[in-house]
A and B are shown apart, each in its own frame.
Chain A
Amino acid sequence: MSADTVVDVLHLTKRYSGVPAVDDVSLSVRRGEVYGFLGPNGAGKTTTLRMLLGLIRPTSGEVTVLGRRPGEAGTLSTIGSMIEGPAFYPFLSGRANLQVMARYSGVGTGQVGRALGAVGLASRGDDKFSAYSLGMKQRLGVAAALLKDPDLIVLDEPTNGLDPAGMRDMRQLIRELGDSGRTVILSSHMMGEVQQVCDRVGVIDSGRMLVESTVEELRGEGELVVRGAPADVARTTLEQLECVQDVRVVDDGLRVRVEESRTGEVTRALVLAGVDVREVRRQERELEDVFFEITASGGDHV
């Protein structure tokens, strides 16, 4: 584990009654990055995060967090987290809940106001937690994660239940945390969110890590969308070009993977083949497309 690696997971497995919930997962999170842990519901994200925090003991494998074993007091004192939804005391106000957590954490209750302000709950801090909307509860969970001014922040689906404006604010907050030098692990099943916020991403499905890479690498160089007539001639021409890979018919056009610098060459070939070219444009691939490709191929994509 290098000095710049905050979380190091090797061959992590958790089985329940012999059934693997997490199966041989390895991942590393580097200092100062926002790491997206991407996968569908039930993929094993939360179980993995719980093991990082010492809430669950692995069946096998190694976990190192900030150079220590997970769950130790010295480790937990530098981690802020919200796992599988916010859980607080319903009879206490939001502020009082944070005061309880501040006492548990051994930080001054003076941090409470700052944390409430950071998530936009300063004016509703004295309301009972039980009276909070789901979005407010979610924001209080993030506020609790910020109380310790932690080096590492682990947020499990933090935008669940937020309205569009709340989601935007939350993503902005997470990005700001990353920009301020903190390391953030963000689990999500929302690919747009990961694409917007994260530097690197690990894709997990059915308990297995399929790929770990930067968002840019995963998305690749994008695709060229081509529309022209006759379509069959256009397709044949494209398939014969050496610089073109992976010709696919999508809606009424064709999509091909080709370097951006070869766009002119492709257009020229189509025109010379007698194709009436109506549209040639470059389109960045969405992480969503990549994700479904990866999960469909079981990780062979990358």
Chain B
Amino acid sequence: MSELVDVTRAELFKLVRRPAAWTLLVAAVVLSQVFGYLIPYLSYAGGGSGPMEGASKAAVLASVLPDQMVANALGGFPVFAGALALVFGALVFGSEYGWGTVKTVLTQRPGRLRVVSGQLVAMTLAVAVGVLVLLGLGAVSSTVIALSEEQSTSWPSAVDLLAGYGGGLAIMVMWASLGAALGVVLRGVALPIGLGVVWVLGVENLISGVADSVLTGLQPLRDVLPGVNAGSLASAVMPVRPPGIGSAPGVTTSVADGRALVTVLCYVAVCVVVTLWTTRRRDVV
């Protein structure tokens, strides 16, 4: 156990000093704040009906108030923030191969499984902090808007907040684990990031779109895709949106709530097993 703690501490020591990790967090924060709060608020303040066609001005304002903070934070998780989490996972694991540090790390004390386990724990902790930051900054922004517009500052219930945080964490850990598994299997960063991002931003949307329209026979396949399940899980833990406010890209109700959570957790488990097994079995050349 102490070796696992040592590895986790070493990984966290590296992560907090790694510019790429902060860059990804800043990107996620900027995306979340701009699309979750800034654009809706500007469209409200500018007097238009906002970018959401058919939504009233009051609904646009209601969508950025504190009781919607979980929806605004998690709205980006199935696609954009998810892609960033995948990049993060690929960076944490794939860079070790790119720099050749995998041999340095694996010739210290702990065995391979403990090294990878510690890295996974550190990655999960970092993602947990990232999700907390996104929710926290959303809370700040929404409260500021509510105070400036003399609207209700009431937060979601503790249960809803916890469910939102847990759901968001599960989604982001799933994407990060996919990045980690790809980073280890492909022994690098560039290819996992390229493949992963194309999958998250492109292929999933294509399959979902086709399954929803011309080829409904593809729906069973669609319903096991990671992005679709992430979107369904996000939808399950979100509050009801104000009338006329549409879902964020990727947020869907395609898969039942419980099944979405189980599928997301299954993806995490499979990725962890692949990462551990590959590292344990393969020669480090």
Q: Which A residues have a C-beta under 8 Å from some C-beta of B? A: 50, 53-57, 71-73, 76-77, 79, 81, 83-92, 96, 99-101, 103-106, 144, 148
Collect the chain A residues with CB atoms within 8 Å of residue B101's CB.
87-89
CB interface residues, B 54-111, toward A, < 8 Å:
99-101, 103-111
Minimum CB–CB distance for A70 against chain B, Å: 10
Nearest A residue to B105 via CB reads: A104
Contact B109 A96 (CB under 8 A): no
Contact A105 B108 (CB under 8 A): yes
Collect the chain B residues with CB atoms within 8 Å of residue A106's CB.
2-3, 6, 109
Ranked nearest first, the 6 interchain pairs of A and B with the lowest CB-CB distance are A87-B100, A103-B10, A104-B108, A55-B284, A56-B283, A77-B109
Most buried by A among B104, B283, B284: B104
Contact A83 B3 (CB under 8 A): no
Minimum CB–CB distance for B106 against chain A, Å: 6
20 contacts between A and B (CB under 8 A): A50-B103, A50-B283, A55-B284, A55-B285, A71-B111, A73-B111, A76-B107, A76-B108, A76-B111, A77-B109, A83-B107, A84-B103, A86-B104, A87-B101, A89-B18, A91-B17, A91-B18, A96-B13, A104-B105, A104-B109
Contact A83 B109 (CB under 8 A): no
Q: Once bound together, how far apart are the Cα atoms of A87 and B103, in whole Å?
A: 8
Contact B99 A90 (CB under 8 A): yes
A-B contact sample (18 more), CB < 8 A, given A71-B111, A103-B6 = A54-B107, A55-B106, A72-B111, A76-B108, A81-B107, A87-B103, A90-B99, A91-B18, A92-B14, A92-B17, A101-B104, A101-B108, A103-B9, A104-B7, A104-B10, A104-B108, A106-B2, A106-B109
Contact A96 B17 (CB under 8 A): yes
Collect the chain B residues with CB atoms within 8 Å of residue A54's CB.
106-107
Nearest A residue to B102 via CB reads: A87
| SS class, residues of chain A in contact with chain B | loop
Interface 1/0s, chain B 273-285, versus A by CB < 8 A? Answer: 0000000000111
Collect the chain A residues with CB atoms within 8 Å of residue B99's CB.
87-90
- Which residue from B13, B109, B110, B283 sits with its C-beta under 8 Å from A55? B283
Collect the chain A residues with CB atoms within 8 Å of residue B111's CB.
71-73, 76
Minimum CB–CB distance for B202 against chain A, Å: 31
Most buried by B among A71, A99, A106: A106
Collect the chain B residues with CB atoms within 8 Å of residue A144's CB.
104
Most buried by A among B2, B7, B100: B100
Collect the chain A residues with CB atoms within 8 Å of residue B285's CB.
50, 55-56
Nearest A residue to B13 via CB reads: A100
Q: Once bound together, how far apart are the Cα atoms of A104 and B109, in whole Å?
A: 6
Contact A55 B10 (CB under 8 A): no
Interface 1/0s, chain B 1-34, versus A by CB < 8 A? Answer: 0110011011001100111100000000000000
Nearest B residue to A58 via CB reads: B283
Nearest A residue to B118 via CB reads: A104
Q: Once bound together, how far apart are the Cα atoms of A105 and B108, in whole Å?
A: 5
Q: Once bound together, how far apart are the Cα atoms of A57 and B283, in whole Å?
A: 6
Contact B14 A89 (CB under 8 A): yes
Collect the chain A residues with CB atoms within 8 Å of residue B103's CB.
50, 55, 83-84, 87
Collect the chain B residues with CB atoms within 8 Å of residue A148's CB.
108-109
Minimum CB–CB distance for A42 against chain B, Å: 14
Q: Once bound together, how far apart are the Cα atoms of A53 and B103, in whole Å?
A: 10
Q: Is B187 an interface residue (CB 8 A)?
A: no
Q: Once bound together, how far apart are the Cα atoms of A165 and B181, in whole Å?
A: 45
Q: Is B114 an interface residue (CB 8 A)?
A: yes
Minimum CB–CB distance for A117 against chain B, Å: 21
Collect the chain B residues with CB atoms within 8 Å of residue A92's CB.
14, 17
Nearest A residue to B283 via CB reads: A56
Q: Once bound together, how far apart are the Cα atoms of A91 and B18, in whole Å?
A: 6
Contact A105 B284 (CB under 8 A): no
Most buried by B among A55, A56, A84: A55
Minimum CB–CB distance for A215 against chain B, Å: 28
Known contacts A90-B99, A104-B7; A76/B109 CB under 8 A: yes
- Which residue from A53, A86, A103 sits with its C-beta under 8 Å from B13? A103
Q: Once bound together, how far apart are the Cα atoms of A81 and B284, in whole Å?
A: 15
Nearest A residue to B21 via CB reads: A91
Nearest A residue to B9 via CB reads: A103
Nearest B residue to A90 via CB reads: B99
Collect the chain A residues with CB atoms within 8 Å of residue B109's CB.
73, 76-77, 104-106, 148
Contact A73 B283 (CB under 8 A): no
Known contacts A87-B101, A92-B17, A106-B2; A100/B10 CB under 8 A: yes
Collect the chain A residues with CB atoms within 8 Å of residue B104's CB.
86-88, 101, 144
Q: Once bound together, how far apart are the Cα atoms of A148 and B104, in whole Å?
A: 13
Collect the chain A residues with CB atoms within 8 Å of residue B17's CB.
91-92, 96
Contact A56 B284 (CB under 8 A): yes
Q: Once bound together, how far apart are the Cα atoms of A105 and B10, in whole Å?
A: 10
Nearest A residue to B104 via CB reads: A87
